[in-house]
Amino acid sequence: MAPQRHAGDDDGGDAAATQPLLAGAQDTATGYEGTTTNSTVTTASGGGGGSSTFTPTLGALDAFAIVISIVIGSGIFTSPGAIDTNSPSPGSALVVWLVGGILAWTGAATMAELGTAIPGEGGVQPYLRYCFGDVFGFLAAWTWIVAVMPATLAILSIVFVESIYTARGVTDAAGHWTHKLLSVAVVVVVSVANCISTKASTRLNKFFVGTKFVAIAAVVLAGLVVVILQVAGKGPSGDGGGKDGGRDWFERNWFATRPVVNPDGSVNDWQGLGTWEMLGFYSTALYGALWAYSGWDKAVYISAELSAPAKQLPLAINTAIPTIIACFLAANAAYYVLLPWNIVSTTDSVAVTAITRLLGRGFGIVAAVVICLVVAGSLLGNSFVAGRMAVAAANTGWFPRVFSVVGQVGVPRKAADDDSSSPSSAGTKDKEPSDAPINAIILSALLSALYIVLGSFRALVTFNGLGEYTFFFLAVLGAVVLRWREPALERPYKPLVVVPGVFVVVSGFVVVRGAIFAPAQAVVLVGLWVVGLVFYWVRRRWFSAV
């Protein structure tokens, strides 16, 4: 097995300075013996270590659109109720949204640092591999491919179908087989759309980005209209029972503690709770916000496809995340204007409920349709990224090479089959070939269908969060350690060290808390890691014997 080469290896430099921090030389191999990999861990200087599967044709606007499309999904329309349930006041709930956004920003900024210093395909895969060794990079790839991304697609598909059912007045069909089959169908349709080509996916993605802004703008505009009418003396004068949402936002203190009604009818009375108990409620609320902001890391997954990643990646992140934070804060403030405060905590379809109360059932159905489009855009973006994760893992030698194939189903055709003079290609030589990772997308769709059949919305959200934040924590911790271990590493983008430091502390807390309060999901995740390590060992031994 050939050892990993780093900057300075050829000229007698200090190779130890760029070795993985917690791994031996045998863990830093470019791939398994007997395999041909298309990408390698880059040199310490940040130079290209190998070729990318995809042509670097995307720009900062494309990356901005992909981040917006992924992050602004179901969370802004489903999480507000859960966050309000665990917050003693509307004002504190908005603070939770702000804190969640800032945490997402610190994580994304650190990922931009890693993405510009250690370019490569696959998001956190090359970073963990560079920092901690091959096993950690593999486990990250394995977790995202078999757990995080399929679970994300499953969650979004369930929300998509649930929005349709809710618009029809049906709220208790999530576990029915027809609901699950429709959710699987949604995954299939989105996967087929992403199989066309990268260009088609990005064009469709930009359409969905516009839809997302329209949906949020409609909610915010409705809230502003109610505020203007109230200030002008034409607002409601009753007790909040009318369609217009009442006067809670106008007459009550936004930061005053008030009892909160849970969906099951129980009440959270904040009086007499200790600091530890309050911290528990706030951490639960923050977990809901982090789910809503999930996807902030996805821009680095396409860093290899950016034409100038050192400039475009930080630009995309530092414009997209603040835009998302502003949208989320404005939308949630509008919810508190449009709805009586005792209703916000009881619904998982806050936007549809608000629009229905304000404008009637017909407009509520229209709102549900728009939200379905928003979720569809998030599905498209996540499916787009999921395929590229599998491609990067296959290029590295961690997954079978069939998943690195683009533009076709199955194994690559022989050169003779692609000869433009052959009869089989006579009618297709003018057709633009697909550059989509079809095999990888199919794998993701199949796994997503399995999660839909076996799981539920709430269980999958917790499972997804545990998987994501375990490796977010490790990746950002690696960035902090690299500041000390390799101070000379070229970093085109370098935020203050407090930025990754804050994220390490909070993400570590989120992982530990999630494992304690959701032991079933934690056990399943650990089981998947064990299976992954066995797969890694068997595959490595297999190629060593070839």
pLDDT digits (tens, 9 = 90+) for 473-505: 999 999 999 999 999 888 888 888 999 999 999
- What is the rounded distance in angstroms from the CA atom of residue 475 to the CA atom of residue 140? 10
In a domain, 2, yes or no: no
pLDDT of the residue at 24: 38
In a domain, 8, yes or no: no
pLDDT of the residue at 250: 85
Q: Kindly report the CATH number assigned to the domain that includes residue 166.
A: 1.20.1740.10
Structural domain including 166 reads: 57-410+433-545
State yes or no: pLDDT of 276 exceeds 90: no
Min mean pLDDT across 58-72, 225-239, 437-451 is at: 225-239
Mean pLDDT value of segment 260-269 = 75
Under the banding of pLDDT at 50, 70 and 90, the label for residue 240 is: very low
In a domain, 9, yes or no: no
Q: How many domains does the chain fold into?
A: 1
- What is the rounded distance in angstroms from the CA atom of residue 144 to the CA atom of residue 123? 10
Q: What percentage of the chain reaches a pLDDT higher than 90?
A: 18
- What is the rounded distance in angstroms from the CA atom of residue 300 to the CA atom of residue 317? 9
Mean pLDDT value of segment 83-102 = 92
In a domain, 17, yes or no: no
Between 289 and 68, name the one with better pLDDT. Answer: 289
pTM above 0.75, yes or no: no
Percent composition of the chain: helix, strand, coil (DSSP 3-state, to 5): 70, 0, 30
In a domain, 415, yes or no: no
Q: pLDDT tens digits, residue range 375-426?
A: 887 787 778 778 878 887 888 788 888 888 877 777 766 544 444 444 444 4
In a domain, 30, yes or no: no
CA distances (Å), origin 12, targets 9, 15, 53, 178:
6, 8, 31, 65
Under the banding of pLDDT at 50, 70 and 90, the label for residue 433 is: low
Mean pLDDT value of segment 63-87 = 81
CA distances (Å), origin 539, targets 45, 399, 400, 402:
31, 9, 9, 15
Torsion of CA 131, 134, 140, 146, to 10 degrees: 170
In a domain, 496, yes or no: yes
pLDDT of the residue at 535: 93
- Which residues, other chains included, contact 192 with Cβ-Cβ below 8 Å and sequence gap of 6+? none
- What is the rounded distance in angstroms from the CA atom of residue 507 to the CA atom of residue 530? 23
In a domain, 41, yes or no: no
Q: Is 124 helix (H, G, I), strand (E, B) or coil?
A: helix
